[in-house]
Amino acid sequence: MNGRKREVARRLFAYEFNRSAHKIESAEERSPTYILTPTGVRCNRVFVVGVLLDREETKPDTNFWRIRLSDPTGVFTGYVGRFQPDALETLLEVEPPELIAVVAKVRHFEGETRSFVSLRPENIAVVDSDVRDYWVYETARLTLERIKAMESKEEEDVLLAWQVYNPDLEEYRSVVKQALQTVIEGAVEVRGEKEEDKEEKWEEEEEKQLEEEFEFEEEEWDLSDILGE
């Protein structure tokens, strides 16, 4: 009954998400795993609003779908299967391209040559461009806050991020600015990320593992614990 504390849904752009290669695991059993992002926030869950570019069954008739979701800075990859029934139901009703909001757990996969992060959506909702615009603004604001924290080099995760990534903060600042510009100019253009061109090999590896996955993370829903029913 005494579940784990719920994880906050972090906000970060695809550009930063796709560069989050460091995994933080605790030795304690059943404790959550996180990815550490280059601007020093540990994240287990994210909230993303973007354009669903496509959804594709990883193999025919598996009902296991790969989705690509774009924000103004890059593309998130996600996987939806029967273990996320709510997300799956909505996904199958959506015809891409469509603006969607996604609440997702973050998954980190260690390939042979590199690591790879993806989304595992819990909830998907079709939204309008106001929601997307606010998300871009909010994500920009929170990213800038994190960049500031990186500069003051105080918090533990910030120090770890410096050690792991030694990031060029100007690069992240300029990504944020570009994203904000798209909102101000009223047109969010979708940019592909060249270096993210898919390496089929690790993707297949990842997908195989995902399909076999039967993991169900239990997290505390405080109200449900109390109210049960």
Partner 1 sequence: MGGIDKLTEQIVKRFRDSGFDVDAKEISKRLNLLIYEFKVPESEAVRTVTNYLMKELDIDREQLAAESPLVRIADVTTPGKWVSLKAKVIQLWDATSPNISQVGLIGDETGIIKFVTWAKAEKEEVKEGKSYLFKNVVTDSFGGRMQVNVNRNSQIVEIEEDVQLPPRELEVVGALIAIQQNSGLIRRCKLCNRTMTKDICPLHGKTEGYDDLRIKGIIDDGKNFYEVILNEDNIRELTGIGLKEARKIAEEKLERSAVLAELKNRLLGRYFRVAGMRGERYLIVREVEFLKQDIRQIAGELL
DSSP 60: T
DSSP for 184-222, please give it: HTT-------GGG---HHHHHHHHHHHHH---------H
Per CB under 8 A, the list member of 24, 94, 142, 160 interacting with partner 1 is 142
- CA pair distance 179, 73, nearest whole angstrom: 7
Site for partner 1 in 152-191 (CB under 8 A): 177, 180-181, 183-184, 186
60 lines the binding site for partner 1 (CB under 8 A): no
Per CB under 8 A, the list member of 196, 203, 217, 220 interacting with partner 1 is 220
Tokens encoding 155: 């918090």
Q: Closest CB to partner 1 among 100 and 119?
A: 100
Q: Closest CB to partner 1 among 52 and 206?
A: 52
Quickly count: other Cβ atoms within 10 Å of residue 77's Cβ.
Answer: 20
H helix runs in 68-221, sequence order: 85-93, 129-152, 156-165, 169-184, 200-212
Per CB under 8 A, the list member of 24, 133, 202, 205 interacting with partner 1 is 133
92 lines the binding site for partner 1 (CB under 8 A): no
Per CB under 8 A, the list member of 53, 94, 103, 164 interacting with partner 1 is 103
Residues that bind partner 1 (CB under 8 A): 2-3, 5-6, 8-11, 47, 49, 100-103, 122-127, 130-131, 133-142, 144, 177, 180-181, 183-184, 186, 220-229
